[in-house]
């Protein structure tokens, strides 16, 4: 187990500086254009693939960093560049983690490389969990997967929504209900291979922020996949369902703790790191502006009202980063989140991003409200952090129920 530290080692610093350079030289110059176009920034993703950032190897190296700081450090730097483009670069990782966490060695070796492709033939993947009537309430999921034993195939029907890369991805990972009587315990994940009949893109959403990231519905109409596409395999699923039925019976039919919530709890620090990156970017723009913009014959940072805002912004950003790093270290080292530390980090960082970006607009005044300056875009982008991967309200609920010992439904 790695000791907790707030100091990056030399290798991590080298990676951080490399990512920062890519964010400054490639992502930032393209940010305004792709925000306006509201399209997937393929040239930037391809450039990220060429230098090795958009790749399975890079993601795995950061994911398995025993200090826990690889992923949050990478997320902060990329999202410092631009949230929409960064999400297009890291979005495939959501599906890859789903396979790495639940798949067999054969499934991991087969499908994860296909999610990324290579520098000459870039691929995308999408993770599809949320539904029109089942966002935070995962137990209300309606997408069904029924096993056709005669053909050893699963037949999947339903509609997924808010899917990053949904419909345009080469590989989709879909969460579906296999036993509706077990609520969230009766879910399983499936690989949908490229060009599978019955899978189609539904509505593409025109969003308030992160507009360079493709978000859409995914329609599944009698989608048939081989039995080998069930992540973990049929035997493992049957064993897990049998245990869940016994536990539900022993509990008198009461709902047991939601396993999906526990999984999200472990991944939420990464979203917190994204928020820290956006907040830090807005703070730096505001600080530079306050030091160079003059009113009444002096820089506006000489005004206490502006200076105190900047002091508060920097303090909150540093506090958010520390919460994210603590939770990330705990997660990689198997430390239990006895006080919902994962949700704490995501809650504080996401709320900080919204507040800091709003303060940045205020410091820039009228300029901050225009698209000539990036803080307007950063403020729009920051709104997503308090919504996806569990809203701020859900984070508070998880924290409160963890502290009280109540079940997290």
Cα–Cα distances (Å) from 386 to 192, 266, 355, 392, 393, in that order, read 29, 17, 11, 5, 9
Assign residue 288 a region: left if phi > 0, alpha if psi is -120 to 50, beta otherwise?
A: alpha
* Positive or negative: CA dihedral 142, 346, 364, 22: negative
Structure-block tokens of residue 370: 């225009």
Structure-block tokens of residue 359: 């303060």
Alpha helices per DSSP H over 196-258: 234-250
Q: Could you list the active site residues?
A: 389
* Positive or negative: CA dihedral 7, 9, 13, 19: negative
* Residue 149 main-chain phi, psi, to 5 deg: -65, -35
What does the alpha-carbon distance between residue 138 and residue 237 come to, in Å, rounded to a whole number?
18
What does the alpha-carbon distance between residue 109 and residue 199 come to, in Å, rounded to a whole number?
23
**Which run of H or E residues covers position 94?**
helix 92-102
**What letter does residue 227 receive in the DSSP assignment?**
G
């Amino acid at each position: 187990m790695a000791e907790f530290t707030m100091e990056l080692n030399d290798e991590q610093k080298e990676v951080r500086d490399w990512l920062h350079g890519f964010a400054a030289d490639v992502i930032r110059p393209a940010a305004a254009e792709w925000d306006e176009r509201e399209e997937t920034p393929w040239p930037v993703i391809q450039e990220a693939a060429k230098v090795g950032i958009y790749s399975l190897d890079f993601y795995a190296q950061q994911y398995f960093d025993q200090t826990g700081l690889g992923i949050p450090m990478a997320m902060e730097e990329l999202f410092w560049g631009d949230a929409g483009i960064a999400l297009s670069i890291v979005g495939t990782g959501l599906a890859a983690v789903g396979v790495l966490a639940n798949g067999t060695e054969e499934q991991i070796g087969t499908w994860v490389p296909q999610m990324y492709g290579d520098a000459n033939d870039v691929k995308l993947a999408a993770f599809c969990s949320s539904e029109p009537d089942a966002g935070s309430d995962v137990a209300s999921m309606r997408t069904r997967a029924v096993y056709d034993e005669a053909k050893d195939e699963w037949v999947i029907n339903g509609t997924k929504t808010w899917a990053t890369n949904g419909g345009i991805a080469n590989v989709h990972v879909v969460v579906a209900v296999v036993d509706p009587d077990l609520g969230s315990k009766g879910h399983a994940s499936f690989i949908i291979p490229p060009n599978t009949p019955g899978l189609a893109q539904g509505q593409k959403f025109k969003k308030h922020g992160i507009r360079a990231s493709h978000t859409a519905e995914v329609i599944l109409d009698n989608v048939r996949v081989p039995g080998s596409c069930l992540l973990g395999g049929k035997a493992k699923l049957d064993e897990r369902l049998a245990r869940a039925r016994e536990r539900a019976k022993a509990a008198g039919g009461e709902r047991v703790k939601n396993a999906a919530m526990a999984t999200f709890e472990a991944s939420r620090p990464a979203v917190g790191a994204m928020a820290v990156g956006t907040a830090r970017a807005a703070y730096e723009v505001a600080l530079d502006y306050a030091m160079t913009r003059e009113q009444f014959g002096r820089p506006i940072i000489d005004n206490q009202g502006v200076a105190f805002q900047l002091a508060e912004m920097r303090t909150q950003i540093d506090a958010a980063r520390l919460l994210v790093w603590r939770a990330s270290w705990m997660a990689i080292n198997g430390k239990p989140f006895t006080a919902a530390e994962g949700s704490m980090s995501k809650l504080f960082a996401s709320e900080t991003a919204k507040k800091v970006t709003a303060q940045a607009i205020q410091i820039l005044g009228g300029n901050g409200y225009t698209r000539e300056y990036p803080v307007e875009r950063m403020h729009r982008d920051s709104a997503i952090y308090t919504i996806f991967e569990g809203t701020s309200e859900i984070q508070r609920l998880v924290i409160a129920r963890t502290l009280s010992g109540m079940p997290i439904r």
